Amino acid sequence: KKRTFSGIQPSGDIHLGNYLGAIRNWVRTQTEYDNIYCIVDLHAITLPIDPQELRQNIRRLAAIYLACGLDTRYCKLFVQSHVRQHAEASWILGCFTPMGWLNRMTQFKAKAGENQETVGAGIYMYPVLMACDILLYQTHLVPVGEDQRQHLELTRDLAQRFNHLYKQEVFTIPEPLIREVGARIMSLTDPTQKMSKTNPNPNSRINLLDDPKTIKQKIARATTDSLRLIRFDPERPGINNLLTIYEALTERSREEIEAEFEGKGYGELKARLTEVVVATLEPIQRRYQEYMRDPAELEAILRAGADAVRPIAEATLQRMKDVIGLG
């Protein structure tokens, strides 16, 4: 079986973009592959975060993975910092990463924003750590959202360069697995930006744990335009985004959806979308509450996951060190 690896940062509330771009796809293909899914907490400290909140977020994310349907029979679930090899490999690979390659990464610039001088260096090194997460497990496929394409390209380049330098297949070269529908859900308040956990405006995203009333309000406030025509059109990012979410959740064709709303107003679209979002999240939230009631079980699952993947990571790290001449 081919191996998949992916992860989400416990940096805030998990939203519909994370679900449609990542988790839902992991669940759908879990029986086809040998899966490793991570809670990437070392990535979550690249921007300031309260310790209590980080600890909570890690547990919540574990419960969300399970509530969304990831099954420990098919997937190993673990917390990144429980497997020390990630941090160690990251230092090593960082020494083989040209600064120019990191300078080209757009996410670093977007996240550092105005604070280029004061932001921690971790945000700059982030793509190297992400490359190690993937490469340590000899991953074939990386199911992610569209925003991670550039980091994945870098991962491939770094792996190829390292293998070439030492004339050995130390790393498997991974491929991105980016689905057509749902790979880039946009912010509800600024549909030219992607939906993100770390956007300071809570109305910009629908969280998986939002109650129906909150969902209704957020969708009601979502940015649209004054054209009043309900069509998939990238030139009209607000409406396009609402329709894309509807498309991803209903799994109907664009023609059908446009026909459904022929001659109808934005109010109708927003009401239907609200219904569909609420109906999708309701069973997830119910299962989430069940998992959160048993912290000991969550801990046991994460511990077993880390114990299962550690030897894989260690074997790759050893090979890295061997070819370099370390140890």
In terms of CB distance, is 127 or 145 closer to ligand ATP?
145
What b/e string do you get for 314-327 counting C-beta neighbours within 10 Å, with b at 16 or more? bebbebbeeeeeee
Query: Which helix (H) or strand (E) is 141 found in, with range?
Result: strand 141-143
Per-residue DSSP letters for 5-41? EEEE--SS--BHHHIIIIIHHHHHTTTTSEEEEEE-H
Catalytic, 1? Answer no
Alpha-carbon span 226 to 102, nearest angstrom: 41
Any idea what DSSP says for residue 77? E
**Which residue number, 206 or 317, has a Cβ lying nearer to ligand ATP?**
206
Could you tell me the smallest distance in angstroms from the CB atom of residue 313 to ligand ATP? 20
Give the residue at shortest CB distance from ligand ATP: 21
Q: Residue 35's Cα: distance from chain center in Å?
A: 15
Residue 305 annotated as part of some ligand binding site: no
Catalytic residue of the set 197, 216, 218, 270: 197
We find the least distance from the C-beta atom of residue 14 to ligand ATP, in angstroms, to be: 8
264 annotated active-site: no
Q: How far is CA 110 from CA 178, 182, 186, 199, in A?
A: 22, 22, 15, 11
**Binding pattern for the stretch 193-232 against ligand ATP, x by CB under 6 A and - elsewhere:** -xxxxx----------------------------------
Q: What type of residue sits at position 263?
A: G
38 lies in the site for ligand ATP, by CB under 6 A: no
Quick one: which of 8, 131, 152, 298 contacts ligand ATP (CB under 6 A)? Answer: 8
147: contact with ligand ATP by CB under 6 A = yes
How far apart, in whole angstroms, are the C-alpha atoms of residue 113 and residue 130? 21
Does residue 21 touch ligand ATP according to CB under 6 A? Answer: yes
9 is an interface residue for ligand ATP by CB under 6 A: yes
Q: Which of 1, 2, 76, 111 is catalytic?
A: 111
Nearer to ligand ATP, 183 or 320 (CB): 183
| CB of 190 closer than 8 Å to CB of 204 | yes
Backbone angles phi, psi at 9, to 5 degrees: -80, 135
Question: Token pair for residue 232?
Answer: 């998939």
Site membership for ligand ATP, residue 64 (CB under 6 A): no
Q: Is 321 a catalytic residue?
A: no
| Residue 147 assigned to a binding site | yes
Among 17, 174, 176, 305, which residue sits at the site for ligand ATP (rule: CB under 6 A)?
17
CA distance to 32, 194, 242, 279, per residue, from 188 (Å): 34, 9, 8, 19
Site for ligand ATP in 158-197 (CB under 6 A): 183-185, 194-197
* 245-271 exposure pattern, b = at least 16 Cβ within 10 A, e = fewer: bbbbbeeeeeeebeeebeeeebeebbe
Single out the segment in contact with ligand ATP by CB under 6 A; choices: 92-100, 129-137, 145-153, 238-246: 145-153
Q: Is 144 in the site for ligand ATP (CB under 6 A)?
A: yes
Binding site for ligand ATP (CB under 6 A): 6, 8-9, 11-12, 17-18, 20-22, 144-145, 147-148, 183-185, 194-198
Annotated binding site for ATP: 9-11, 17-18, 145-147, 185
Q: Catalytic residue numbers? A: 111, 194, 197
